[in-house]
Amino acid sequence: MTYKKRIASLILVDSLIVIISIFISNFILLPTGSPFTTVLIISSVVLLLSHHAFAHIYKLYKRVWQYASMNELYGIFMVVNFSIALTAVAQLIMIQDVYYRTLAITWMMHILLIGGSRFSWRMYRDTYLKPKLGGKRTLIVGAGNAGTMVARQLRNSEDTELDPIGFVDDDNYKQHLEIMNLPVLGEIKNIPTLVEELHVEHIIIAIPSLNRQELNEIFAVCTQTKVKTQILPKMEDLITGNVEVNQFRDVEVEDLLGRDPVELDIEGIADYITNKTVLVTGAGGSIGSEICRQIARFSPEELVLLGHGENSIYAIEMELRRNLPDLNIKTEIADIQDREKIFSIMAARTPHVVFHAAAHKHVPLMERNPEEAVKNNVLGTKNVAEAASAAHVNTFVMISTDKAVNPTSVMGSTKRIAEMIVQHMDMISDTRFVAVRFGNVLGSRGSVIPLFKDQIKNGGPVTVTDPEMVRYFMTIPEASRLVLQAGSLAKGGEVFVLDMGEPVKIVDLARNLIRLSGYTEEEIPIVFTGMRPGEKMFEELLSKDEVHDEQVYPKIYRGKTPVVDINVTYELAKTYDEYTKEQLRERLLDIANFRVRQLKVLSEAK
């Protein structure tokens, strides 16, 4: 039915209902009287016109009545109330009297017939048009507003195979009750029993207010069954309208290991990014590209994407141009080891802020190629930092790692030495130099998660180095947001440390991924392979002599790091190629762990 025909049909039905209501009311009160009195005709005309006027105001003719709910009932209630009230005023003005009893009965008939005509459409749809024969029997976890919304969407949607059979909820007051004719079947702990007894084929977790720990606990109960478990879309996607509430998604490892996001100081970040030129090294990497996405939200005057790999830079450039066509983007393909090129770019772009994310991060590869770690992580950082100082950059933020604390690997040692360079530059330059440390990032290219997923996809086994090995984890967006926040807090010389929450056992991460993929450990076994060269059993974010207990911002700490003799570092930068791989590895560990003579830097304070 076309829109115009639908409107005409509703107006015709409502007109008949209004006339019938007032004539039935008159017949009930005066069964032997004439139905065509002046009072009745005037009242009918006024009520009819006022009904259509208020129906237009409350958009009764634009509502989809097969999805009718309390909002639609409220609209009907208001239209009838105002129509009857206006009719009473018309009677008082034109007839000098108000026929209260007639209007009262008319009001009841009006509500009953208008409401019945609308809600009968929904009753018909729910009863006959959507029988859901053969649909997957679905259990909804959470009998609150979100759970009710999910049940309604599943019943009304023609695009889903899911058929809701009931709820589980830990609220004692809801036990044994029914919501939308669906029973509350028990508590969350009863899920395994209910799945077996009721032949449940699908589970939906519909509690948006869950924190990470609560989601972990519920998911652990759900995984005792072999039933597919999904959750609601992320709240930000629902709010922005990117997805609908019935577009459920699989539980991801980020949901179980991530943490509730911290509120950012938007004004503080905007002060040093908005309308400024910002340059990001390693802009095509997993961390660098997310930093670019976060920066773009603050409308920089110019965003410079610098990277060595042309494909990754092209990918992030195209993404940003597609999503933010008004953003002023410049791209630079350059290797940070190319000192002359880096100085040339920095002088030409004259950025206000530099985020230095370019680095070699893979621990085993750097153990086998220590000279490459020195060239990229040490010399490359030195080039970018000195070029930034020469270009009078306001703020320089280096992305570091928890592996720089008491390092046992080449990668960690070179990142710690890079921190030393940044701290030294802060002492001799007008630029504010800071470093930001955080642990493993979920989904980054160096993360263990892509490896585990590939192993699961190929049928296993999943390889874990040691059952006791633990790591800190953070999502890429959260890490990138906190990097931006740390930059706004920079006074110069700090090593900021992001609060990574509680450490997670790698074996638990592997088990979660196996369960999330729909397998058991019997199907995809876990094999322990032993620690690799350079690895540590436990990661640290600060060594004992670096700890500041107070947070400078929620989830951001400021570390105390000792002042060092930068000459030791610069000597290594000049002579690294004179060492064998093993000698270079040992020299890096000695410098990074302060096992060589370290003299206080005698440089001019800022």
Query: What does the DSSP 8-state code read for residue 592?
Result: H
What's the CA gap between 599 and 290, in Å, rounded?
38
What's the CA gap between 426 and 312, in Å, rounded?
31
Cα atoms in the 13 Å half-sphere on the side-chain side of 567: 8
Burial class (CB in 10 A: 0-12, 13-18, 19+), 601: middle
Query: What does the DSSP 8-state code read for residue 132?
Result: -
3 state SS of 329? strand
Q: Which of 375, 403, 536, 555 is catalytic?
A: 403
Structure tokens at 147: 């759970």
Residue 349 phi, psi dihedral angles, 5° rounding: -85, -25
- What sections of 278-405 are H helices per DSSP? 286-296, 310-323, 339-349, 363-368, 370-373, 380-390
Q: State the angle between helix axes of 410-428 and 566-575 in degrees (0 to 180), rounded to the nearest 10.
A: 120
3 state SS of 331? strand
Question: In Å, how far from its chain's centre is CA 418?
Answer: 32
Residue 403 appears among annotated catalytic residues: yes
Name which of 399, 415, 343, 464 is nearest 588 in CA terms.
415
What's the CA gap between 170 and 149, in Å, rounded?
18
Question: In Å, how far from its chain's centre is CA 338?
Answer: 37
Identity at 525, one-letter amino acid code: P
What's the CA gap between 239 and 535, in Å, rounded?
42
**Quick check: 201 and 137 in contact, CB under 8 A?**
yes
- Give 153's contacts (C-beta < 8 A, 6+ positions apart): 244, 245, 246
* Residue 62: how many other CB atoms lie within 10 Å: 12
What's the CA gap between 272 and 283, in Å, rounded?
19
Name which of 555, 413, 536 is nearest 470 in CA terms.
536
Distances (CA, A) of 100 to 42, 47, 51, 104, 315: 15, 14, 18, 6, 73
Whether the ω angle into residue 467 lies within 30 degrees of 0, i.e. cis, is no
Long-range contacts of 109-114 (CB under 8 A, 24+ apart): 109/20, 109/21, 109/22, 109/24, 109/25, 110/17, 110/18, 110/21, 110/51, 110/80, 110/83, 110/84, 111/76, 111/77, 111/80, 113/17, 113/20, 113/21, 114/14, 114/17, 114/76, 114/79, 114/80
Sign of torsion over alpha carbons 430, 431, 432, 438: negative
What's the CA gap between 34 and 40, in Å, rounded?
9
Question: Active-site residues: which are they?
Answer: 403
